[in-house]
Copies of this chain bind each other. A is one copy, B any other.
Amino acid sequence: MRILAAQVNPTIGDLSGNTRKIIDALHRARRQKIDVVLFPEMTICGYFPDDLLLDPSFINQIEKQLDVIEPETKGMFVCVGLPRKNQTGMEKPLFNSAAIFIDGKLSGFKDKTLLPTYDVFDERRYFEPGAEQLVWEYQGKRIAVTICEDVWQHSKSVGYTHYRVDPVMDLVNKKPDLVLNLSASPYYYKRTDVRLSTFQAVAKTLKCPVILCNQVGANDQLVFDGHSLCIDGKGDLIEIAKGFVEEDLVIDLSEPKKVCDAPQGDLTDLYSALVLGVRDYFQKQGFKRAVVGLSGGIDSALVTYIAKDALGAENVLAITMPSRFSSKGSVDDSLSFAKGLGIEIKNISIEPIFKEYLSLLEPEFGGKALDATEENLQTRIRGMILMAFSNKTDALLLNTGNKSEMAVGYCTLYGDMAGGLGVLHDVTKLHVYQLAKWIGLPEEIIQKTPSAELKENQTDLDLLPPYEILDPILEDYIEEGLSVEKIAKKQGQSVKFVREIIRKIHSAEYKRRQAPISIRVTQKAFNRGRISPIVQKWR
C-alpha cells in the first residue's frame, strides 16, 4: 500500500484555491500509483477560519467543494479535512471532520472527538465532538482516521484539559492496521519533539503504522511547520517531511524502511518559522513590499534580514531616522548593514519635525519638565514617517519590537509599536541574540548596548533589569505559568522583584491589545493565546 501525505499550504477561506491544491495533489498521487491520500485538518478552508465558520454560506460553499473533489478520488482512499454541518441540531452547529472518499465516492465522515479550547484554540466555540472512532476497510486493511487532538490525550501532553475520552484507547479493540491523522498542529519552539513522542506512543499502543499529515504555512499569528511523518508499528520514525515548505510525503508500507532520525535544529526551525510567517502574511494578502525602520540595533537588523529572506532584498526598504540622541554608530551601522544585504536604505533625520513639535507643545505644557512625552514624540515621528512610506509605496510596515519589550511595555503605542506584523513579538531578547549570532549579523550590531536612543546616554538598563535576568522570569511566568514564589526561588531573585516584573506585564496589557498581530513561535504568545483583561486589580 502506497500512501501520500499531501503537506499543503492552504489560505484561509480560499475555497477554490485550496480545492485546486487538493486536486493537484490527487493528480500527482495517481501518477505515482498511490493508494491512500491524506490531507491536513480543514484542508478546504484552511486552519483556522474563526467566525467565518458562523456564516452558513461559508459552510455551504465548503460542502460544494466535495462534489468537485469526489470524481478525482477514483481508485484511491482519500481523506480531506473540512468543517461540516451538525445535522442533529443539538449544541454547536458544526463538526470538524474528515471526508472519506473511496474509489471516487464520498463514503462518510469522521468527526473530530477532542476539540482543543485553550491557548490559541477555540474549537468549542463552533464544534460538537464526534461521538465514536471509526475504521474503514480498504484493500484488505483496516484504516482508522483521526484528527489532530484526537491522538494527543494518549500522550498526556495536552494543555489545560484532561479529556475524559482517549480515542486511541477506543481504537484498540477496533484493531486498525493503519492510523491516519489529519492535523493543523502549529509550530512552537522545541515542539517537534513533543509531537514525535506523541505519535510514537500512539503507534506503540495500536501496534500499527501511524501517518500524520500536518498543515504547512502561516495564517495570521499561527505558523504550521508541516513535518508530516510516518511511525512504524514498533514506534520508530521511518519518514518525516521537510518543515516549513509544501511537500508530498510518500510512504510505501510494503517496502522495509530504515529508522530515521528526527531533524535537529531548534534555531533553524525558529528562523524558518519567522521567515514563513512574514512571507505568507504578504503573499496571501497580495503584498510584495515591506518597509522597516532600521535603528542600528539588533532587533531591527534581524527583522530586516528576515524580510530579505522572506520577500527578496529588492522588496525591502529600510529607513534610518536619526535624532539628536542617535549615536553616529547607529546611522553608519544601519547604512552599511543595508548596503551589505543589497537593500535600499533612506536616511531621514527626525530633527526638523521633532523641533517643530517641541516648539508647538512647550508653551502648552507650561514649563513642565521633559519626560516620557518627548521620548514618545520621537518614536511616534518615526512611526509616522514609516507609515507614510507604507502608504505611498504600497508596502507593509514590519514591526521590530521583541517579546521582552512587549511583555513589560517597554514600547510606545503608535511609535515603535506601529506596523502590520510584529515579526519578533514572540521572540525574547535573548533569543534575538541567539538568532542574530546564528545568521551572522555584524558584530558591531550584536555588541551594541541596547538603547532606545530617546535621550542622552539612555540604555535599556535605565528601566529594565539585564535581559539575562528578565527573560527567564518572563518565560517562567508567561510560558510555564509558574507562581511568583517558584519563579523567585528558581531564578534566585526576591519575591518583590519578581512581583514587580509581573505587575509590569499586566500593566502593559492595554498596549499589547493595540499591537499588530505577531508570529507565534513559543507555546504561549500574547493576545490570542493569552487572553487578559485590561482593567483588573489582580496584579
Q: Does A341 contact B (CB under 8 A)?
A: no
A348 with B360: CB separation less than 8 A: yes
Complex Cα distance, B510 from A514, in Å, reads 11
Q: Does A261 contact B (CB under 8 A)?
A: no
Contact mask for chain A residues 103-139; partner B; CB cutoff 8 A; 1 contact, 0 none? 0000000000000011000101100000000000000
Contact mask for chain A residues 337-369; partner B; CB cutoff 8 A; 1 contact, 0 none? 000000000101000110011001100110010
In-complex Cβ contact of A534 among B348, B483, B517 (8 A): B517
A465 to chain B, nearest CB (A): 22
In-complex Cβ contact of A537 among B13, B381, B413, B531 (8 A): B13
Q: Does A259 contact B (CB under 8 A)?
A: no
**Chain B residues, CB < 8 A from A381:** 384
Contact mask for chain A residues 515-539; partner B; CB cutoff 8 A; 1 contact, 0 none? 1110000000000001111111111
B90 with A14: CB separation less than 8 A: no
A51 to chain B, nearest CB (A): 5
A533 with B352, Cβ < 8 A, contacts A384-B414, A414-B418, A538-B13 known: no
Closest chain B residue to A61, Cβ basis: B538
Q: Does A472 contact B (CB under 8 A)?
A: no
B376 with A50: CB separation less than 8 A: no
Complex Cα distance, B92 from A163, in Å, reads 8
Complex Cα distance, B89 from A124, in Å, reads 19
Complex Cα distance, B516 from A537, in Å, reads 20
Stretch at the interface among A198-206, A244-252, A385-393: A385-393
A352 to chain B, nearest CB (A): 6
Which has the most chain B C-beta neighbours within 10 Å: A54, A385, A420, A535?
A: A535
A118 to chain B, nearest CB (A): 6
B383 with A414: CB separation less than 8 A: yes
Q: Does A189 contact B (CB under 8 A)?
A: no
Q: Does A456 contact B (CB under 8 A)?
A: no
**Chain B residues, CB < 8 A from A14:** 536-538
CB interface residues, A 361-412, toward B, < 8 Å: 361, 364-365, 368, 371-373, 376-377, 380-381, 383-385, 387-389, 391-392
A387 with B361, Cβ < 8 A, contacts A118-B125, A392-B368, A537-B17 known: no
**Chain B residues, CB < 8 A from A353:** 353, 356-357, 360
Q: List 16 A-B contacts (CB under 8 A).
A: A12-B536, A17-B537, A57-B484, A91-B161, A220-B533, A281-B535, A285-B535, A353-B360, A360-B385, A361-B388, A368-B392, A373-B391, A373-B392, A376-B387, A384-B384, A514-B516
- Give A contacts to B, CB under 8 Å: 11-15, 17, 46, 48-52, 54-58, 89-93, 117-118, 122, 124-125, 160-164, 219-220, 280-281, 284-285, 346, 348, 352-353, 356-357, 360-361, 364-365, 368, 371-373, 376-377, 380-381, 383-385, 387-389, 391-392, 413-414, 418, 420, 481, 483-484, 510, 513-517, 530-539
- Assuming A11-B536, A357-B388, A373-B392, what are 13 further A-B pairs, CB within 8 angstroms? A12-B535, A13-B533, A14-B536, A49-B538, A57-B484, A357-B384, A361-B392, A364-B389, A377-B388, A387-B414, A414-B414, A513-B516, A513-B517
The 10 tightest CB contacts between A and B, nearest first, are A13-B538, A14-B537, A12-B536, A373-B391, A414-B414, A13-B536, A124-B124, A50-B531, A373-B392, A356-B356
